[in-house]
Amino acid sequence: MHTRTLGQGLQVSAVGLGCMGMSQSYGPNPGSRDDMIGVLRAAVDRGVTFFDTAEVYGPYVNEELVGEALEPVRDHVTIATKFGWDIQDAKSVGLNSRPEQIRAVADASLRRLRTDVIDLFYQHRVDPDVPIEDVAGTVGELVAEGKVRHFGLSEASATTIRRAHAVFPVTALQSEYSLWTRDPEAEVLPTLAELGIGFVPFSPLGKGFLTGTVDQTTSFADGDVRSTIPRFTEENREANHALVTRIATVAETRGATPGQVALAWLLAQHPWIVPIPGTRRVTRIEENAGSTEVALSADDLADLDTLAQSVGVHGDRYNAVHMGYVGR
């Protein structure tokens, strides 16, 4: 696996692993908790060194899973987790990025992750009730205390990124970005390039859609978040299928899978982009890692860009409530 460098010199594997789906959001898990520990350790064996979790995943149980799985190799991996939600009775009931909350979450995450330092600590969503300067300053204090190494933001606007970075250096921004979610390109990506901040796209495979394994006939299991997302209605899946068809055509010419082409497109955008596709299967980890070996030509990239822009995408990427949390 190749490595890439995010902001502030943080070096990680070129493709990371989003761990959320091992605990929530995609219906019943195909394996046991022990199976997921095996998947996480298999990822390390295959060169993945960058793992993404959050206190709200579960809540809490995903951090515990990641902590147990990676404890034996802790010195060889980078673990990112997140703060920013108000969690009551095992449910998130809103945002909370007050300084005292950030500190409490850091201490609790350290225990669950079985470590003495959090490598990358993201604000999960921007809290409009807490100045971003206070958030950045608090994380900076945690860095000075040795509890955190790097500060990150998630789904923040270019303006917020600049304000935070002026107080304490931002190492990475995490937001959704893929061939069918191009929102960051207008303002966020140029800001990151200017400030030397890395970018970590989540859902780089469009929550499975860009792999070609989801179409208008797919039925989602109980608890699968895609059943609540407008982009995944039957009508919109049918309308969005043209993009997947073109990706599959490019994949065939390159001896790759559609998912590998979608990841290779992301990797080709900037050298400081590190996607974190999620999976619960070792075979998918191997496939995703293989995307670093897929060389797309300039014609391939231009063709995919042109098609994505001309076809467009039908349906929002979140429901109305969650759309209100992004781009602040």
Q: Quick one: pLDDT band at residue 292, thresholds 50, 70, 90?
A: very high
| Average pLDDT rounded to a whole number, residues 53-74 | 98
pLDDT digits (tens, 9 = 90+) for 226-264: 999 999 999 999 999 989 999 999 999 999 999 999 999
Domain ranges of the chain: 3-206+266-294
Token pair belonging to 90: 């095992």
pLDDT digits (tens, 9 = 90+) for 85-123: 999 999 999 999 999 999 999 999 999 999 999 999 999
Q: Quick one: pLDDT band at residue 158, thresholds 50, 70, 90?
A: very high
Cα gap 176→76, rounded to integer Å: 27
* Tokens 């600049």 found at: 162
Contact present, 1 and 14 (Cβ < 8 Å): yes
| Average pLDDT rounded to a whole number, residues 36-61 | 98
| Average pLDDT rounded to a whole number, residues 49-70 | 98
Q: Give phi and psi for 319, each to the nearest 5.
A: -75, 175
- Residue 92's contacts (CB-CB under 8 Å, 6 or more residues apart) are 56, 59, 85, 86
> Percentage of the chain with pLDDT > 70?
100
CB atoms within 10 A of CB 280: 17
| Average pLDDT rounded to a whole number, residues 166-189 | 97
pLDDT digits (tens, 9 = 90+) for 203-235: 999 999 999 999 989 999 999 999 999 999 999
Token pair belonging to 96: 């909370």
Which pLDDT value is given to residue 308? 87
* Class of domain 3-206+266-294 (CATH, top level): alpha beta
Residue 19 has pLDDT above 90, yes or no: yes
Residue 298 has pLDDT above 90, yes or no: yes
Which pLDDT value is given to residue 23? 95
| Average pLDDT rounded to a whole number, residues 160-177 | 98
Which pLDDT value is given to residue 319? 92
Residue 311 has pLDDT above 90, yes or no: no
| Average pLDDT rounded to a whole number, residues 139-163 | 98
> Considering the entire predicted model, what is its pTM?
0.97
Which pLDDT value is given to residue 312? 86
Catalytically active residues, by annotation: 57
Long-range contacts of 248-256 (CB under 8 A, 24+ apart): 248/212, 250/296, 250/300, 250/303, 250/304, 254/294, 254/295, 254/296, 254/300, 256/290, 256/291, 256/294
Strand partners, 122: 82, 152
Contact present, 47 and 12 (Cβ < 8 Å): no
Which pLDDT value is given to residue 310? 85
Q: Quick one: pLDDT band at residue 307, thresholds 50, 70, 90?
A: confident
Average pLDDT of the chain is 96
Cα gap 124→200, rounded to integer Å: 13
